[in-house]
Homo-oligomer: A and B are copies of this chain.
Amino acid sequence: MQLNKIVEFHKALGDLTRIRIIALLQHGPLHGQAIAGKLGLKAPTITHHISKLRDVGLIKERREKNTIYFSLNTKILESSASAILSVGKGTTNEMIVSQEERADIINNFFTKEGKLKSLPAQRKKKLVVLAHMIKALEFGKVYPEKEVNEYLTRFHDDYATLRRELIMCQFMYRENNEYELNPEELWWLR
């Protein structure tokens, strides 16, 4: 149920410490100890909060020597913040699929081994199938084309068709042969 996604997002923001972390990260990446120092808290507390924020897709990170720099995924922030405005109104109604219906579709179009049998013709089902396949990909991470191909081969030999469908349905976008999940389309996922 996508209502739960919305709940988790707001629960993540419903804490003063995490809002302060977000306020800090709006100005650029920071590492854990720096955040702890600025907020007057201990490192484990920061780990705790960062992982809450990461759980809802708000945190990107990059490692440099021993220290990890955390930064804000502003695309996710924007799309998640606006999700509440359309809750209950069927704005993304194409995607309003019950948990059971989704399970049925997955069941019908994938083998027990997880291979895709065929791509559904019906748009709604196709979206469910595509969404299912990218579940293991990471928001904010940039994938070279080769890696995308290898990944998609896990589901079907014809990775090129899958890749094209992901682009056409705007689940991913491409920039000079590198691929990235499109958070604007996928806030309701996961």
Contact = CB atoms under 8 A, between A and B. Distances in A.
A15 interface: yes
Interface in A172-190: 183-184, 187-189
Contacts of A123: none
Task: Give how many copies assemble into the complex.
Answer: 2
A20 B85 contact: no
A140 to B, nearest CB: 6
A77 B84 contact: yes
Contacts of A82: 81-82
A93 B27 CA distance: 12
Nearest to A38: B139
A-B pairs, top 4 by smallest CB distance, nearest first, are A23-B88, A11-B14, A26-B88, A10-B13
Interface in A1-56: 3-4, 6-8, 10-17, 19-20, 22-27, 38-40
Contacts of A138: 40
A27 B139 contact: no
A140 B40 contact: yes
Contact of A24 (B15, B85, B141, B187): B187
Contacts of A187: 23-24, 26-27
Nearest to A40: B138
Interface residues of A, number: 43
B16 A13 contact: no
Contacts of A140: 16-17, 20, 39-40
Contacts of A91: 27
A89 B20 contact: no
A7 B19 CA distance: 7
